[in-house]
Amino acid sequence: MNAFDRNSNLIIIEQLRNSEKIVLDDYIEKILIPLKEENPSFLKTLYKDILYVLDDLDKPNENDLVIENGDSVIEDGGFKLSGYQTRLHDICIWLHQEFIEDNLAHLDNLTNMIEVFEKAEQKLLKEENLTTEYRGKLEEIKRSLRKERKVNYDNKTNGLKKYLDFDILELKPNFFGIGLNINEIINKKK
């Protein structure tokens, strides 16, 4: 992978999505850290791309700490968060930590630390210099994540609704031997 090629971010995002949580530490150590050493701003762009993909995926009050009986819940060696969690959520926590550490080096005093971090993050997220092709690829990943969430998380609690889901219904009417896939038309309109 090339730390200066933005398409490497797409490959990394796909690899992380399809990985198991247990391999994230090794992935960070063997792939992300060497790429960071090659290009110091690499992690910032990856963080920005992942935040773009995760934008609007979570519902309100999700990604909050789960507290039971007055204590935070530990799951898989870390704090349990509410809502649907993907590997991208997990790696985003590490990327945020790296972002904070980078900005901590530029901090003069600790009194306005939170304001400095918020401004730095807003500045990073405000700079949007994506080509239409690259944005389209990120949107494709975003749509895939929404479908993944719907299948793996939302439908578990909806009982019969998962069988009556119109997204899995495929309509292909034929007119004089020519087929028309209505689902593709609907998906392109979304």
Token match 């998962």: residue? 162
Q: Residues, the chain, total?
A: 190
Q: What's the rounded mean pLDDT across residues 39-59?
A: 87
- pLDDT over threshold 80, residue 63: no
Any residues with CB less than 8 A from the CB of 16 and at least 6 apart, and which?
24, 27, 87, 88, 91
**Model confidence at 106: pLDDT above 80:** no
Does some domain include residue 34?
Answer: yes
Partners of 174 in beta bridges: 179
Residue 91 within a domain: yes
The answer as to whether 125 is a domain residue is: yes
What percent of the chain has pLDDT above 90? 18
Instruction: With respect to residue 44, please indicate whether it lies within any of the assigned structural domains.
Output: yes
Taking the C-alpha atoms of residue 152 and residue 148, their distance in angstroms, rounded to an integer, is 6
**For residue 136, is pLDDT > 70?**
yes
The mean per-residue pLDDT over the stretch 118-122 comes to: 81
Q: Residue 148: give the domain boundaries.
A: 7-159
pLDDT category at 3 given cuts 50, 70, 90 is: confident
Quick check: is 55 in a domain? yes
Distance CA 39, CA 159 (A): 48
User: Quick one: pLDDT band at residue 107, thresholds 50, 70, 90?
Assistant: confident
**102 within domain boundaries:** yes
Does the residue 72 lie in any domain? yes
Per-residue pLDDT band for 130 (boundaries 50, 70, 90) equals confident
Domain count for the chain: 1
* pLDDT of the residue at 189: 61
**165 belongs to a structural domain:** no
Top-confidence residue, 53 or 21: 53
